[in-house]
Structure 1
Amino acid sequence: MKAQAVLSIILILVPSLSGFHDTFLLASPNLVTTEEEQIVIGRLGEDIILPCSFESEPEVVIHWKNQDNYVYSYYKDRDYLENQDHRYTNRTSLFHSEIHNGNASLSLRRLSLLDEGIYVCYVGTTSRKIINKVVLKVGAFVTPVMKYEKRNTDSFLICSVLSYPHPLITWKTDNASISESNMEEIESLGPFYVDSMINITGSNLSYECAIENSLLKQTWTGGGTVKDDLHKMQSENFSLSCELTNSIFLLDQDFKVTWSKVEKETSSILAYFLSSSRNTTIYGPRVSWNKEQINQTDFSLTLKDLILSDSGEYLCNISSSKYTFLTIQALHVVEQSQSRTTWIIILSLGFLAICIFCILKRYNCFRRERSSVHTERANMTNAEESKALSEHPASTGN
């Protein structure tokens, strides 16, 4: 009877329609009070459980609050949500079947960044009061993407991510760190969507972009390489290379490979591969893909019977949830007539160079022969003069 009387006082001090007042916790000075504090990290758009436990008793009052906002109320074995803040409508629930086992945890669904804050769980029983504080932190890290863009004559690699809190983004080229002055961050679609870009200044260089969300302890890496320009003749078959040398990034992960031709403002997809189904999709009769090579992480694509309009830049994109690798290749298709003219010019110049070399060589030989003749004649003249002097020596006066 005494316990029921104490609980009745508690319930009287909790208006059933006007909301909850903290005075219910002070209904009896003999109640035992316990306090705890926990940190819970949730992810944007997902569900979370805010923990709260107590020693089970037959009668219990539960209230959840966030600052001055009512989140949830439960007593007399039923919910009272009349004064619940509208932000939590249809997003909260208790585990009713476990309340009498001492579980007063709150389920909060479809987290938003506005849900961050300190939540307080008040539990009152006939013998004690419990105050549990839960610090809820909400993080966001939507899978980043790495893009390649051409703007006039400049080329850029861009890493984009929706992240909260603000992510740490670092760039490397050939494993050497790039200073912050050489990269640019833009919050293009709001305070949590970040673009980080660098200007590509050379070919056959490797680039790496690493993004880290410190709250969620989540990282992502993007890599890219721009290969030297290639010149091919019309009607040739040509293989566009794309190979992931460090295949460890694809282990135990679903990934996709997309080949596209980069235009000024848009791009057209040529082929598509999805690892989960092992299926390839080809767009265009002159495009082919070797499935055996794909199984070995070689994603090279073949273009048959090249035409002049095939000239342009081609992009191979290998992506998983934790990694992206881009390969950019520029192709220039030359007409066969132009190619023949080029070869004729090259051969003519080569022939001319050989002729000039032979003429110079012949001229040098001629000069050496003339020099030799002059030397012989000079030697003969000297010999004749010496002989004449010996036969007619000069007279000596007495």
Structure 2
Amino acid sequence: MTVMMKVFQVLLLLNFVWTLTRGDIDVSCQFGETCVFPCRFSPGHHILIHWHLNLTVQVHSFFDDQDQLGQQDQQFKGRTSLFLDQILEGNASLLLTGVKVKDEGRYQCYTSTMEEDATKSYVNVKLTAPLQKINMTQTKNLIICSSDEIYPKPHLSWSISPPSSRTFQNKTTVQKTEKHLYNISSSLTLSDSEEDLDHICTISTPSKQRRASWRRRHSVTIISGEATISCSALDSSLKGLSLVWRFNQREKIVTKNEDDEHRVSEEWKQHVKDVSESGRLTLQHLSADHEGTYTCEVSNDGDTSMAQISLRLAEGKDNSHGGIVAAIVILPIIGLVIYCIGTKLKRVDHKIPETQSQSPSVKIISGEATISCSSLDSSLKGLCLVWRFNQSEIIVTKNEDDEHRVSEEWKQHVKDVSESGRLTLQHLSADHEGTYTCEVSSDGDTSMAQISLRLAEGKVVEK
């Protein structure tokens, strides 16, 4: 008898647990939206309805044929309601507006009537603030991947395609907001020489995953005021996808929506010649003002792909509108050069013999470089000296009285000019790669040396 009684008690307990589990309903609510917690009962008279959160917090009550909210917890003030026109039909479902993270939990629906005993059902409420979009930006040697107002707590990871054996440094931070949502951000340190590698940022929650990729493509040269830049090497169709071209990451050039409608910003209308179906952008009427970074951003169902291209004028070409200003700035320097050479011409009545030597190229390291007029590095006291960049742009001049004059645009770059004419430059970038010419004049004779300046391989020097 004792054994039978224990078996009966176990069966009764299992039946209770099964009934409780069967009665639980899982509901997923989106942050800030309206959510319905279902509950039904057998219709009758003198209906009583109580909703509680985690058994202790009073959410909503109904009896005497009306809402009774005197004991309602402050958390739910003004946010709850029942379907009053359906209560007599046995519908005790609760409608909650402006759902918050704090609203998560297990809700109990308690109902009774004159005809039926009290019944209880349970609703398990989970909240989500869906991951909408990943934002990706690039600054100096960092790619920053971020997304805001997510719930539950997201996870972020980086990957490289094609796979690389190198280790990439990254730092990820997660912040909890006042709304109890999560902001996540991660920065990845770029290598100086990486091109055509996809740096992929993946952010995921239990219910959703988004990806964004960033790629640095080969630089493109502006020739005769025109240039064509592509979003990808494949140049495949972007039909049905969203597209944005930006200049220096902030200034929008052209946008395309999912309906393939293009819109060119007002200030770029004269420069956008064509946008192909693959997003390839052809630009015209370009000058030195348009040198910089161009970013193509393609979005598809929340995933984003970005490509970055540097645009530079062809070496020795200048289509800028600043030529007049530059001429005014360097006019006094040109006068000094003419005077220096002119005084030499007056001393002789025969043709000036010239000698020219080609020196080895010099590397720009950590933004600095030193170039010499000759291997002997002897004193140029009493001689005229002119240093030029790409043969036309004057850097520094020295007259017979050993008075030096540095052009305005090179003042921040000229660190020192020695007695032998050796020129030390600083704060150099890829824009300063090119040909440097040293011209020394003495008694009508001219000696010239030409030096090529290049960035050390794998080095990128910031402007």
Q: Which of 242, 261, 266 is the matching residue for 2:247? A: 261
For residues 1-44 of structure 1, the C-alpha deviation after alignment (integer angstroms, 9 at most, x for no partner) is: xxxxxxxxxxxxxxxxxxxxxxxxxxxxxxxxx75222222111
Q: Distance in 1 between matches of 2:265 and 2:25?
A: 53
Q: Distance in 2 between matches of 1:339 and 1:51?
A: 78
Determine what percentage of the aligned residue pairs are the same residue: 22
Matched, 1:173 2:160: yes
Contact 1:287 1:301 in 2 (8 A): no
Displacement of 1:90 in angstroms is: 2.1
CA gap 1:218/1:119 in 2 versus in 1, 3 angstroms: same
The structure with the greater share of residues assigned to helix is: 1
Displacement of 1:129 in angstroms is: 1.1
Query: What letter matches 1:173 in structure 2?
Result: I
Residues 202-217 of structure 1 mapped to structure 2, 5 A cutoff: 202-214=194-206, 217=207
Aligned to 2:128: 139
Q: Distance in 2 between matches of 1:169 and 1:114?
A: 25
Contact 1:161 1:193 in 2 (8 A): yes
Q: Secondary structure at the match of 1:100?
A: helix
Q: Distance in 1 between matches of 2:59 and 2:310?
A: 59
Q: Distance in 2 between matches of 1:204 and 1:94?
A: 58
Aligned to 2:90: 102
Contact 1:289 1:300 in 2 (8 A): no
Deviates more, 1:274-283 or 1:50-59: 274-283
Query: What letter matches 2:203 in structure 1?
Result: I
CA gap 1:105/1:180 in 2 versus in 1, 3 angstroms: farther
How many residues get paired?
A: 296
Residues 62-211 of structure 1 mapped to structure 2, 5 A cutoff: 62-67=49-54, 68-126=56-114, 127-151=116-140, 154-176=141-163, 182-187=169-174, 190=177, 192-201=182-191, 202-211=194-203
- Higher CA-based Rg: 1
Q: Which runs of 5+ in 1 are unaligned?
A: 1-33, 346-398
Q: Distance in 2 between matches of 1:116 and 1:178?
A: 44
CA gap 1:245/1:336 in 2 versus in 1, 3 angstroms: closer
Alignment TM-score, normalising by the size of structure 1: 0.66
Q: Secondary structure at the match of 2:88?
A: helix
Aligned to 2:288: 308
Q: Secondary structure at the match of 2:75?
A: helix
Q: Distance in 2 between matches of 1:244 and 1:92?
A: 55
Q: Distance in 1 between matches of 2:127 and 2:41?
A: 26
Matched, 1:221 2:205: no
Q: Which runs of 5+ in 2 are unaligned?
A: 1-18, 319-388, 393-433, 438-463
Query: What letter matches 2:296 in structure 1?
Result: C
CA-atom RMSD in angstroms: 3.1
Displacement of 1:176 in angstroms is: 3.3
Q: Distance in 2 between matches of 1:160 and 1:178?
A: 28
Displacement of 1:321 in angstroms is: 4.3
Displacement of 1:312 in angstroms is: 0.9
CA gap 1:97/1:176 in 2 versus in 1, 3 angstroms: farther
Aligned to 1:330: 310
Query: What letter matches 2:152 in structure 1?
Result: P
CA gap 1:288/1:40 in 2 versus in 1, 3 angstroms: same
Higher relative contact order (CA 8 A, sep 6+): 1
Displacement of 1:245 in angstroms is: 5.8
Contact 2:146 2:183 in 1 (8 A): no
